[in-house]
Structure 1
Amino acid sequence: MSEEYGYGGGFALLVVLFILLIIIGASWGYGGFY
């Protein structure tokens, strides 16, 4: 649990989750929301 992992890893994970949410939403038919 180093500093660069806590910041960089956390930020990267947040971005990945956000992208996955958009992809899943679009595949489910919520693409119009974005």
Structure 2
Amino acid sequence: VLDLYVWLSFRLEESFPDREVASAQKEMCNL
């Protein structure tokens, strides 16, 4: 789900202000 959120956020940056937060959460999940 976070991968999709990050992917979409790169195309709709204005709609996804929390991309940095999602990226951080994704990294934590991948550990």
When normalised by structure 2's length, the TM-score is 0.47
TM-score, length-normalised on structure 1?
0.43
Greater RCO structure (CA 8 Å; 6+ sep): 2
